[in-house]
A and B are shown apart, each in its own frame.
Chain A
Amino acid sequence: MTLSISVENLSKQYRLGVIGNRTLYEDINRWWARVRGLPDPLEKIGEVDHGNRANGLLWALRDVSFQLEQGEVLGVIGRNGAGKSTLLKILSRVTGPTSGQIKLRGRIASLLEVGTGFHPELTGRENIYLNGTILGMSRGEIAKKFDEIVSFSEVEKFVDTPVKRYSSGMYVRLAFAVAAHLDPEIMVVDEVLAVGDAAFQRKCLGKLSENAGEGRTVLFVSHNMAAINRLCSRAILLDRGLMIADGPAAEITAKYLSGAAEEDGIRNWNPDEAPGTDEVRLMGISISGNNGVSKSVFEVSDEIFIRLDYRVGVPNTRFRCAMVFSTQGVTVFSTIEPYELERKEIGLYSSVLRIPAHLLAESEYSINVSAFTSAGSKKHYISLRNVLHFQIYDSMTTPSARGDYTQNLAGVIRPRLDWKSAEKRIDS
């Protein structure tokens, strides 16, 4: 086997606080202060320290090293801010590293976004050419693959219509079709698969793994552990810029999930910052399993409890609480307290929602919370979007709706339903 990528002691540092708001005046000011031996007049003081920043510098990546052999498919995982995107950006040469280097063998194509460079006024046909060349194909290559791209995108009829008239689904399908037909030796893919409908996503994942079989090296960033497990042979785990684990994908995703499981799943507010109105304010929300310990990662076979703590500030307030669950832009379900309750006294109250086991499929979910009354005129006391996130995964170690099937099961819910199968008697 030959090496395809060698990342050596890669580090990337960002300056905080001075990004994007620099004017000549400020720089002259700084320079003048330095000349007179005074401290920087514009330096920010008292910024919050999250461990990976010092003196207004943030290490997005620190001394990351790994090697990839040709044909390997590597999953890159980590929480938000762990440095995944920075790694991909450096690999795609969108930004340069601060120190260290990456050696590459072969042509590299990166897919940090679908439809990069699409021009709304141009037709589908024109945009295929434009987008394809931006991603690094030559005009000849695109011409050769043109029909394949169009049929993959399923927009044949509209290929000569300006893309601004496309539905968002068509737009994404066309954009992805172009990307899926890139033919580089190395491919870098960010979480672009989160767009598009489920059927098309599957088609793309299929195309991607089919490509991997052709000896293509792929780096794949995703929050979707199931996709990582399915597509990647190996994974690395980043945390605050450091690479903390490298190994077989199943092992690393398990490590990530267990790490994530120990934290979060809870959010509290100070009384003076709590969201809501004087009548009702949300003081806290927590999500936990059977044992009441808050966490943010659950098995498909876990029961989930979500607890809302709120303060009623006006006597005799009538309302009901509601939550909306969504994943990848799709609303999975809404649930409300069946009746409006009158909270007679000022004080703290709570409501707990139980989500039965085997309802949600593996994915990352976010919760919107509201409290409202519809008696008389409708009034919202609390209305919060994406208050909390949690993840459902399937370790395949507990009995579930998938039985002994180990491959991808589509859908945002995963109920255990009854199957009755019998042989139909054939009359003799």
Chain B
Amino acid sequence: MKHNNLTAEKWTDIIKPQRNWLDWRLHELWRARDLVMLFVWRDFVSVYKQTILGPLWYLIQPLLTTLIFTVVFGRIASLSTDEVPDFIFYLAGSVIWAYFAECLNKTSTTFISNSGLFGKVYFPRLAVPISILISNLIAFAIQFTLFLAFVIYYWVVGGAIAPNWTVLMLPLYILMMAGLGLGFGIIVSALTTRYRDLQFLVRFGVQLAMYATPVIYPLSSIPENYQLLIRANPMTAIVEGFRYSFLGSGALDPWNLLYSFVFMLLTLLIGILLFNRIESTFMDTV
């Protein structure tokens, strides 16, 4: 077959049993950017259709959480908040934790909750978790604006808060939370195709993890011998850093932040490797 030889070089795609570990097909993901944006938009539009309050829910959720934290942890349990007003302290914690937790929870069910779609059509599967990060970012932006309004209010009325130049690190905090949420989320989503038990563990685990992160208490209130344990939690540096930047409480520990960053890169790497590995076979096991 002569034509075969002539054109053998020009195949645009080859479907093989197992892809190379390092073949991430990032160019495909780039080409699917319209799809990512449409997923984001679909999630945003469809979630609150047929609700009365609509996107207001984005504000109600953190407000109610903060209110309950303030009453339970601030007033009843009288936990320390490092001299910062209770309300803004808890609001900072719950806004930032919510982004990470939502990213993790939602991306961790990628394969299971999209199996119908994934079973019928191919597109870069990472488009789904990435769209989740972005749509959560929209929710975060709304909640962050609320937080910012309170920061300005407390600042103007002279509450004990001290925002400083490190607020410029906000994009880094967001990037790291997104990276960690995505990394953990896709690791779990890849594993849940084999072990369904994990999906229950995750929701529960994320809730517990909040208590192992200085969300409702400052790192400084932790006894010396537990400090290292809490610092080993990659979210610790982010939450502490965020609060230091906007409220001036606690401390910004560059080494701890660097540790979190490396941790995030590793998680992400393992996540993407596992995710790509499972992508071509998961339809046979779900």
Say yes or no: is A342 at the interface (Cβ < 8 Å to chain B).
Answer: no
**CA–CA, A262 to B139, complex, Å?**
63
Within 8 A of B (CB), among A63-100: 67, 89-100
From A22, A129, A133, contact of B194 by CB (8 A): A22
Interface residue? A199 (CB, 8 A): no
How far apart are B12's CB and chain A's nearest CB, in angstroms? 5
Partner of A19, one of B46, B196, B284: B284
**Complex A-B, nearest 3 residue pairs according to Cβ-Cβ distance, in ascending order:** A96-B280, A93-B122, A102-B15
Question: Which of the four size classes fits the interface of chain A?
Answer: 35 or more
A110 at the interface (CB under 8 A from B): yes
| Chain B residues in 8 Å Cβ range of A160 | none
Least Cβ distance of A127 to chain B in Å?
Answer: 9
Taking a contact as CB atoms under 8 Å apart, the answer to whether B38 and A106 are in contact is no
A61: shortest Cβ distance to chain B, in Å? 12
What's the minimum C-beta distance from B209 to chain A, rounded to whole angstroms?
20
- Does the CB pair A122–B197 fall under 8 Å? no
Is the beta-carbon distance between A97 and B121 smaller than 8 angstroms? no
What are 17 A-B contacts with C-beta separation under 8 Å? Answer: A22-B285, A92-B122, A94-B119, A95-B281, A95-B284, A101-B16, A103-B13, A104-B13, A105-B10, A105-B11, A116-B117, A116-B120, A117-B117, A121-B49, A122-B42, A130-B42, A139-B34
Minimum CB–CB distance from B24 to chain A (whole Å) comes to 15
Residues of B within 8 A of A139 (CB): 34, 37-38
Indicate if B223 sits at the interface (CB-CB under 8 A).
Answer: no
Instruction: Name the residue of chain B whose CB is nearest to the CB of A18.
Output: B285
Given contacts A103-B13, A105-B10, contact A112 B120 (CB under 8 A): yes
B195 beta carbon closer than 8 Å to chain A: yes
A81 to chain B, nearest CB (A): 16
A110 in contact with B121 (CB, 8 Å): yes
Are A89 and B285 in touch, CB under 8 angstroms?
A: no
User: A121 and B123 in contact (CB under 8 A), knowing A23-B196, A24-B197, A104-B11?
Assistant: no
Residue B148 at the A interface, CB < 8 A?
A: no
Which residues of chain B come closer than 8 Å to A108, judged between CB atoms? Answer: 13
Residues of B in contact with A (beta carbons under 8 Å apart): 3-4, 7, 10-18, 34-35, 37-38, 42, 45-46, 49-50, 117-123, 194-198, 280-281, 283-286
A19 touching B285 in the complex, CB below 8 Å, given contacts A2-B7, A3-B7: yes
A158 to chain B, nearest CB (A): 17
Hey, which chain A residues are within 8 Å of B117, CB to CB?
116-117, 134
Measured between beta carbons, the chain A residues less than 8 angstroms from B38 are 129-130, 133, 139
A104, B12: Cβ atoms closer than 8 Å: yes
Q: Does A113 contact B (CB under 8 A)?
A: yes
Q: B119 to A96, Cβ gap below 8 A?
A: no
* A260-B283 Cα distance, complex, nearest whole Å: 31
Residues of A within 8 A of B194 (CB): 22, 27
User: Which chain B residue has the least Cβ–Cβ distance from A112?
Assistant: B120
- The reply to whether B285 and A20 form a contact with Cβ atoms under 8 Å apart is yes
> Quick check: A135 and B121 within 8 Å, CB to CB?
yes
Q: Whole-angstrom distance between the alpha carbons of A246 and B16 in the complex?
A: 23
Q: Residues of A at under 8 Å CB distance from B?
A: 1-3, 6, 14-15, 19-20, 22-25, 27, 67, 89-108, 110, 112-113, 116-117, 119, 121-122, 126, 129-130, 133-136, 138-139
Given contacts A19-B285, A20-B286, A112-B120, contact A104 B46 (CB under 8 A): no
Partner of B18, one of A96, A104, A110: A96
Question: Please, which residues of chain A bring their CB within 8 A of the CB of B12?
Answer: 104-107
Check A113–B17 contact: CB distance below 8 A.
Answer: no
Question: Of B45, B123, B280, B284, which contacts A134 at CB under 8 A?
Answer: B123
> A133 and B195: CB pair below 8 A?
no
Chain B residue contacts of A119, Cβ below 8 A: 42, 46
- Whether the pair B122, A3 counts as a contact (CB closer than 8 A) is no
**A95 contacts which chain B residues (CB < 8 A)?**
280-281, 283-284
The residue in chain A whose Cβ has the minimal distance to the Cβ of B117 is: A117
Known pairs A2-B3, A135-B121, A138-B34 / 10 extra A-B pairs, C-beta < 8 Å: A3-B7, A6-B11, A23-B196, A67-B4, A89-B119, A101-B15, A104-B12, A104-B13, A106-B12, A117-B121
- When chains A and B are docked, how far (Å) is the Cα of A135 from the Cα of B32? 10
Known: A3-B4, A90-B15, A94-B122. A122 touches B45 (CB 8 A): yes
Whether A27 and B195, one on each chain, are in contact in the complex, defined by CB atoms closer than 8 angstroms, is yes
Question: When the two chains form their complex, are residues A134 and B35 in contact, meaning their CB atoms are under 8 A apart?
Answer: yes
Contacts of B42 in A (CB 8 A): 119, 122, 126, 130
Contacts of B50 in A (CB 8 A): 121
One of A113, A122, A136 near B46 (C-beta < 8 A): A122
